[in-house]
Amino acid sequence: QSVLTQPPSVSGAPGQRVTISCTGSSSNIGAVYSVHWYQQLPGKAPKLLIYGTSNRPSGVPDRFSGSKSGTSASLAITGLQAEDEADYYCQSYDNSLSAWVFGGGTKLAVL
């Protein structure tokens, strides 16, 4: 059972927009801590996609965006492409656990 809750899977057609939710609590997302998102392509190491809730590292397309409200955060992907098929993980810090915590991951299928 992950501290942060994500839907197991989402899907969309090429060109569409999809969102992935990440629900936490008052000890993590609902506190002062940022949310980060990672993309893991099949058989590869995770890659930082969004940091500080809504910032993109250099090289990440602006099709990817992040937001946060209350105890939840979201990753939005617009103009869906076949290469976006991957697992996506949210991450935050939990002050009651004194630990970095990840969501269980969401598998994105591009139909």
- Residues at the interface with another protein (CB under 8 A): 2, 33-34, 36, 38, 40, 45-48, 51-52, 57, 89, 91, 93, 97-105
Nearer to another protein, 33 or 80 (CB): 33
Q: Which residue's CB is nearer to another protein, number 99 or number 111?
A: 99
Write out the two tokens for 33. Answer: 């801590």
Query: Closer CB to another protein, residue 16 or residue 96?
Result: 96
> What minimum distance in Å lies between the beta carbon of 24 and another protein?
14
**How many Å separate Cα 46 from the centre of its chain?**
12
